[in-house]
Structure 1
């Protein structure tokens, strides 16, 4: 039994040994195959590395060759640049020596050409007398010395403008009316000063070759008919604008009297109302005092016939009260003079009050206008003077209105007060004369009575 087990163990051992030997041989073969594969791969990679190294060396050689060629070309161009720079310097020096003062002449020519160009851009001679404007533009735009043709053209342009400034010519123009419609009208050019149609002066636009009417024409503005009369010798004068349109443009911005009064606002209107009331009172009282003075002068010639006038009423009081004592008669006459003085000075106190109120209202308008100005400055700043013009205009206009209103009212009050005082002096003088006459009469009667009594 033991022998069988031993035989079995030995057989199993031999089987395991054979299997292990076979497996080891197979692994060895597999390792050798992989080693051969790896060697072949390494050989291939080495071949590729050698090929890449050759390509890179070839590419490097090509780049070095190209670099050398570019460096050679750069050195050549640098030498050529140096030669060209030296040659250019010599040529510039030669040009400077050969041109001499022509550079200054070119500067003078361009300067004069620019002046003429700016003149032609706004001149009314563009209607029919700007034949050489293109030559002037070419000279201004030129970067080199002008040619002889251009110099001649500059002289001809100057000569043309000189002759045009002394001409009065009529030509058709494109006129844009107030509704924006363009129509062809006849216009007369007055030298280089202005362009006139049947409606008066027109604003000529040389860029668009058309004209529009000015917003406001001057007094006695010329028309084509009046210019024809000047040409025919029937008229010796005509209204001209020497500023060539500047004054006509400013004329539209000049405020009228109504615009200035409207700038005063409500306070200005109140001042004007006070002035009107004061003038009416002054005129009425002046007429009344003048009539009263004439009646008094006439009454002085006929004192025995009292009339309906201040002196006549005092004489009437004297006739009614002459039987009273001298003291009572004097008081009655003084009462009558005071009553007449009250009538003579009626309205003068109101006139004086209005004369005092006018400058005070003007000062009120000044303060109100300045407050409005500061409010505008607070809201919009002070960058644009136009936004402050309303308040400043109100301040100044109300001040002027207040002073203008006060002066005639004060003058009227002074004149009327003087006239009333003169009339009062006449009345007092006549009243005192009547009292003195009555006192002398009473004294004479008393003396006569004493004489009669002594004689008795």
Structure 2
């Protein structure tokens, strides 16, 4: 068996020794081949680098040339810009000097255009006579000198308003009634002063192109029918508002006496009621005292026949009680005078109470109105005075009503009290005279009786 496998072992040993030699030769050969390829690749890349470097140098030279050309152009343009800037400055100065007067004209034109625009915005000529209003708006909004077309439009607008101010024309307008409904009605425009319909003067709104009737019309206000004579050329007197509606608005804002009294509220009505009651009492008692004075004057002329009057009733008491003693008669007459005084002063205490109560109610209305004013200020602030007008009006009106009611009532009370006092003095004087006569009569009778007894 050993002899059989010996050649095989020998062959294996020979192969194992020669194998590293063969591998080393292959590696060397492969390294040489790769070295040759690498040198070839490096040479090729070096050639490419040299070509790229040359291209970059050419590009750099081209860019430098282009930069120099652009720099030359920039220097040339900068010099030209400086030259043009100096020329422009000289031309602007020349333009400023030459257009100085035109600037003043533009200011005058624009100012006049603003004035005309303000007049047109409130003028009733907007119904049918404002065809050049847009030109006026263009001039007002312009920032440069107006054109000839705009100046012509301004002149035409002025001429149109001058002609319209002398016209009396009838046209149809949109009227808004008190309930907000719109209707088309005929109306007559009286120049630039007013617009008249069947309801009287109308307030024209140029923004909405409609009209509303003024709340309060002036006395003898014209109507559409009354203006027919003007259109026919007949001369007639017409109430005009030269302020283009401002006076008519103020007329609506001016309250009447009834509106002022209405502002006093419930307290004001109570004060007026007290004033009426007090005046009725004063008139009644004044008439009664005047009649009593006349009757007393007539009774003084005929004291022997007592009548139905205060002095006559006092004389009747004397006639009934003259048989009594002086002291009893004096008390009876005093009682009669007191009774008559009560009748003469009847109602005067109520009159005095009303005179004292009226200013107190006025003060109550003042406090109530101020409370209402402060409540309104709390809710809406104090930015709008119209919101606070109601409470302030109530406060002031009630104060005035209280004073106005108290003064005549107090004056009437004093006058009537003086008249009653004069009548009472007359009654007391006559009563004292009667008592004195009774005392003198009794004294004389006593003296006569003594003389008779002595004899």
TM-score by length of 1: 0.81
**Equivalent residue runs for 1:284-363 within 5 Å:** 284-363=284-363
**Equivalent residue runs for 1:88-237 within 5 Å:** 88-99=88-99, 101-130=101-130, 132-133=132-133, 136-137=136-137, 139-141=139-141, 145=145, 154-155=154-155, 157-165=157-165, 167=166, 169-178=168-177, 179-189=180-190, 191-227=191-227, 232-233=234-235, 236=237
Alpha-carbon distance between aligned partners in 1 of 2:225 and 2:71, rounded to the nearest angstrom: 85
Q: Judging changes above 3 Å, is the alpha-carbon distance between structure 1 residues 287 and 200 closer, same or farther for their aligned structure 2 residues?
A: same
- 1:278-313: per-residue Cα shift (whole Å, max 9, x none)? 333333333333333333334334433333332222
Q: Judging changes above 3 Å, is the alpha-carbon distance between structure 1 residues 2 and 296 closer, same or farther for their aligned structure 2 residues?
A: same
Shift of 1:365: 2.9
In structure 2, the partner of 1:409 is 409
**Equivalent residue runs for 1:437-456 within 5 Å:** 437-453=437-453, 456=455
Shift of 1:345: 1.6
Alpha-carbon distance between aligned partners in 2 of 1:437 and 1:262, rounded to the nearest angstrom: 63
**Equivalent residue runs for 1:375-414 within 5 Å:** 375-414=375-414
Alignment partner of 1:430 is 2:433:
no
Q: Is the 8 A contact 1:117 1:136 kept in 2?
A: yes
Alpha-carbon distance between aligned partners in 1 of 2:273 and 2:47, rounded to the nearest angstrom: 120
Q: Judging changes above 3 Å, is the alpha-carbon distance between structure 1 residues 198 and 7 closer, same or farther for their aligned structure 2 residues?
A: same
Alpha-carbon distance between aligned partners in 2 of 1:97 and 1:434, rounded to the nearest angstrom: 116
Alpha-carbon distance between aligned partners in 2 of 1:211 and 1:159, rounded to the nearest angstrom: 25
Q: Is the 8 A contact 2:174 2:209 kept in 1?
A: no
Q: Is the 8 A contact 2:125 2:164 kept in 1?
A: yes
Q: Is the 8 A contact 1:337 1:428 kept in 2?
A: yes
TM-score by length of 2: 0.81
- 1:308-359: per-residue Cα shift (whole Å, max 9, x none)? 3322221221121111122221221111111221222222222222222222
Shift of 1:256: 4.3
Alpha-carbon distance between aligned partners in 1 of 2:51 and 2:346, rounded to the nearest angstrom: 135
SS of the residue corresponding to residue 101 of structure 1 reads helix
**Equivalent residue runs for 1:30-109 within 5 Å:** 71-99=71-99, 101-109=101-109
Q: Is the 8 A contact 1:173 1:211 kept in 2?
A: no
Q: Judging changes above 3 Å, is the alpha-carbon distance between structure 1 residues 228 and 451 closer, same or farther for their aligned structure 2 residues?
A: farther
Alpha-carbon distance between aligned partners in 2 of 1:304 and 1:48, rounded to the nearest angstrom: 169
Shift of 1:446: 3.5
Q: Judging changes above 3 Å, is the alpha-carbon distance between structure 1 residues 4 and 129 closer, same or farther for their aligned structure 2 residues?
A: closer
Q: Which blocks of at least 5 consecutive residues in structure 1 are unaligned?
A: none
Shift of 1:172: 0.9
Alpha-carbon distance between aligned partners in 1 of 2:444 and 2:167, rounded to the nearest angstrom: 98
SS of the residue corresponding to residue 304 of structure 2 reads coil
Alpha-carbon distance between aligned partners in 2 of 1:205 and 1:51, rounded to the nearest angstrom: 89
Q: Judging changes above 3 Å, is the alpha-carbon distance between structure 1 residues 41 and 263 closer, same or farther for their aligned structure 2 residues?
A: farther
SS of the residue corresponding to residue 202 of structure 2 reads strand
SS of the residue corresponding to residue 382 of structure 2 reads coil
Q: Is the 8 A contact 1:263 1:394 kept in 2?
A: yes
Alpha-carbon distance between aligned partners in 1 of 2:265 and 2:43, rounded to the nearest angstrom: 111
Q: Is the 8 A contact 2:176 2:210 kept in 1?
A: no
SS of the residue corresponding to residue 373 of structure 2 reads helix
- 1:368-391: per-residue Cα shift (whole Å, max 9, x none)? 333343344344433333333333
Q: Judging changes above 3 Å, is the alpha-carbon distance between structure 1 residues 150 and 334 closer, same or farther for their aligned structure 2 residues?
A: same
Does 427-436 or 29-38 show the bigger shift? 29-38
